[in-house]
Amino acid sequence: MTRKPEATDKCANPEMFHKVFSNVIRKSYDSTVELAPEVKRHLEQCAFCREQEPRWRETAKHDQIQSFAQRVVNEGLENQPHIKRRKEGNLTYFFGQEPREPKGGYIVVWDAARGIIVHVQYGDVEAFRQFAFK
Question: Does residue 96 lie within any of the structural domains?
Answer: yes
What whole-number distance in Å separates Cα of residue 101 and Cα of residue 93?
19
Question: Does residue 37 lie within any of the structural domains?
Answer: yes
pLDDT in tens, 27-83: 888 878 899 999 999 999 999 999 999 999 999 988 888 999 999 999 999 999 999
Q: Write down the pLDDT at residue 14.
A: 83
* Cβ count near 86 (within 10 Å): 12
**Whether residue 20 is found in the same domain as residue 56:** yes
Stated pTM of the model: 0.70
Bigger pLDDT: 14 or 77?
77
Domain that holds residue 110: 81-130
What's the number of domains the chain is made of? Answer: 2
**Whether residue 88 is found in the same domain as residue 49:** no
**Whether residue 93 is found in the same domain as residue 58:** no
Question: Does residue 35 lie within any of the structural domains?
Answer: yes
**Whether residue 57 is found in the same domain as residue 85:** no
Confidence of residue 129 (pLDDT cuts 50, 70, 90): very high
Name, in order, each residue with C-beta under 8 angstroms of 93's C-beta and a sequence gap of 6 or more.
Answer: 85, 86, 87, 107, 108, 109, 110, 128, 131, 133
